[in-house]
Amino acid sequence: VLRSFSTRRVATVSSVELADAAGVNPATLRRDLSHLGSFGTPGTGYGVEELLDAVHRALTLSREWPILIAGAGDLGRALARSRGFTTGGFRVAALVDVDPERVGTLVNGIAVHHLDELDAVVTREEIRLGVVATPATSAADIVTRLAAAGVRSILNFAPALLTAPEQIVVRNVDLAAELQMLAFYAARAELEAADPANAPANRTRAAGRIPGRPR
Amino acid sequence: VLRSFSTRRVATVSSVELADAAGVNPATLRRDLSHLGSFGTPGTGYGVEELLDAVHRALTLSREWPILIAGAGDLGRALARSRGFTTGGFRVAALVDVDPERVGTLVNGIAVHHLDELDAVVTREEIRLGVVATPATSAADIVTRLAAAGVRSILNFAPALLTAPEQIVVRNVDLAAELQMLAFYAARAELEAADPANAPANRTRAAGRIPGRPR
DNA sequence: AGTTGTGAACTCGTTCACAGCA
DNA sequence: TGCTGTGAACGAGTTCACAACT
């Protein structure tokens, strides 16, 4: 949101403007920002560029982060080409796979190495972020290898319950779980459409949220 | 987790066994399950099949959910082929795109229709779940069309802040945000490695969680 | 007059701990 | 003896509300 204000050459924003644009509560936004320090000017708001800078520094986005993607299947290749993985300081440095058909090929100009080279590649490129886009059965092995090679945090797309060594952070993106939540909402909507009496009474804001994921 | 117990032909599980396997607190698990009714037997635990059935019913996973994927680019095609989208009651019924090169092709046996046919396809196939895998610029338009066609909930992979009509639930999967969180953790780990004094004192469990996403 | 930063209240999910049942 | 279901305590994040500042 801050970037979009910056693009539109807005000089200052108030917490209310920012919060409205992001869909959050202004007080929460102010408290969150206060953890980074005091950047706002009472009566005026926040300097967009100044705040953008502070946030970038706080989130350590001002340096380049090379990424390794394990699994050069459909998903792995799609991720390697996706905008989210190639902009804003992120760069897919390498892919690894075990399939001889894939090893040695290029995806978006990025080489696909054999799984056995994982450690060497991670070391050479100083990779700290790993992405698991393999079948569930290989995921645990990959995590072990990544951790051993020095990767610090892992984004896992495989539908598996992973255990990683202490200090390694694993974030799971579970597509099946996402769909299950969608289905739950859709089913509830149909139920209500058929009989409005089924509507939960305590629907405070937009929709009864399931805790966990983003908005 | 319940499915894995079922596969291993386990007849009953206690809340502790289940919670350990899932990595959650047993008391929380018991309270959550209690919302579905009383299935457990004191002294014995829960009947695996019985509980699996109750959960399936509660989450409305016992019927088939056809899905429409908007955007037949790398990501859209990868999703159409992914396990999470083709198992457990989910079925990709159609893809839509605007690119003439893609329209008319097949992805994993699924036809790619033109965007203009979205409404017709959704109606014909009685689709209630939509997935947005388009560039950010088209996302808002797609959401409008999906909502108008009768889709009830939407999974959005485009990095855009979407506003949907009331009653339509939009869940965002923001790959860039995921990477930013990974980078944050990795940076903190490096900081601590360089100077252990930087370690936050109040690290209760695994790693100081950022609220929001799954475990 | 307008907006920040924050003490204090509040909300809501989590966890403990135990009565009660198999 | 073992385990469930839940009252009660707890705790973390959220939100209110306002003093302080421009």
Express each pLDDT in A66-108 by its tens digit: 999 999 999 999 999 998 899 888 999 999 999 999 999 999 9
| Residue A68 DSSP one-character state | E
The answer to whether the CB atoms of B84 and A176 lie below 8 A apart is: yes
- Beta strand spans in chain B (E): 12-13, 46-47, 65-70, 90-97, 106-107, 110-114, 129-132, 153-156, 169-172
d(CA B174, CA B180): 10
Residue type, A166: E
pLDDT value of residue A206? 33
Which has more pLDDT, A214 or B53?
A: B53
Closest residue to D20 (CA to C1') is A42
Has residue A198 got a pLDDT over 70?
A: no
- The rounded distance, in Å, linking the Cα atoms of A189 and B153 is 9
Residues in CB range of A4: below 8 A, 6 or more apart: A21
pLDDT for the residue numbered A205:
33
Q: What is the mean pLDDT of chain B?
A: 89
Q: What is residue B202's predicted lDDT score, i.e. its pLDDT?
A: 37
The C-alpha atoms of residue B130 and residue B115 are separated, in whole angstroms, by: 13
The mean pLDDT of B65-83, rounded to a whole number, is 96
Å from the B28 CA to the D9 C1': 15
Contact A131, A117 (CB under 8 A): no
pLDDT digits (tens, 9 = 90+) for A24-49: 999 999 999 999 999 999 999 999 99
What's the rounded Cα separation, in Å, for the pair B132 and B116?
15
A75–B77 CB contact, under 8 Å: no
Question: Is residue B2 within 8 Å of residue B52, measured between CB atoms?
Answer: yes
Residues 151-180 of chain A with CB under 7 A from strand C are none
Q: Where does the pLDDT of residue A191 fall: very low under 50, low under 70, confident under 90, or very high at 90 and above?
A: confident
Locate the chain A residue with the closest alpha carbon to B85: A176
Nearest to B185 among A23, A85, A153 (CB): A153
Which pLDDT score is estimated for A196? 64
pLDDT at position B188:
86
Least confident of A99-113, A116-130, B157-171: B157-171
Between chains, do A215 and B78 touch, taking CB under 8 Å as contact? no
Mean pLDDT in residue range B106-117: 97
- Do B179 and A65 touch, CB atoms closer than 8 A? yes
Task: Look up residue A9 and give its two tokens.
Answer: 């050459």
Is residue A49 classed exposed, middle or buried when 0-12, 13-18 and 19+ CB atoms within 10 A define those classes? middle
Pair A90, A81: CB distance under 8 Å: no
Residues 13-52 on chain A lying near strand C, CB distance under 7 A: 13-16, 26-27, 30-31, 33-34, 38-46
Residues 78-117 of A with CB under 8 A from B: 78-79, 81-85, 87-90
* Residue A190 Cα to chain centre, angstroms: 31
pLDDT band at B189 (very low <50, low <70, confident <90, very high): confident
Specify burial of residue B58 (Cβ count, 10 A radius: 0-12, 13-18, 19+): middle
Amino acid code (one letter) for A16: V
What is the least distance, in Å, from the CA of A40 to any CA of chain B? Answer: 24
Measured between alpha carbons, how far is A54 from A114 in angstroms, rounded to an integer?
A: 40
Are A83 and A166 within 8 A, CB to CB?
no
pLDDT of the residue at B160: 84
**Which residues, including other chains, have CB under 8 Å from residue A203's CB and lie 6 or more apart?**
none
At residue A167 the predicted structure's pLDDT band, cuts being 50, 70 and 90, is confident
Over 60: is that where the pLDDT of B175 sits?
Answer: yes
Sign of CA dihedral B60, B62, B63, B67: positive
Q: To the nearest 10°, the Cα dihedral for A109, A115, A117, A123?
A: 80
Please state the rounded mean pLDDT for residues A185-204. 68
pLDDT at residue B208 greater than cutoff 50:
no
Give strand C nucleotides closer than 7 A to any protein Cβ.
1-7, 12-17, 20-22
Q: What's the rounded mean pLDDT across residues B73-77? A: 96
pTM for this one? 0.88
d(CA B3, CA B6): 5
**Model confidence pLDDT, tens digit, residues B121-158:** 999 999 999 999 999 999 999 999 999 999 999 999 99
The shortest C-alpha distance from B44 to chain A (Å) reads 26
Q: Does B199 touch chain A (CB under 8 A)?
A: no
pLDDT of B167 reads 84
Q: Residue A212: its pLDDT value, please? A: 33
Which residues partner with A3 through β-bridges? Answer: none
Measuring from the CA of residue B26 to each C1' atom, give the nucleotide at the shortest distance.
Answer: C15
Q: What is the predicted pLDDT for the residue at B162?
A: 86
B161 vs A156: which has the higher pLDDT: A156
The B residues from 23 to 42 touching A (CB cutoff 8 Å) are 23
- For residue B116, the 8-state DSSP code is G
Residues in chain A with CB shorter than 8 Å from the CB of B89 are 183
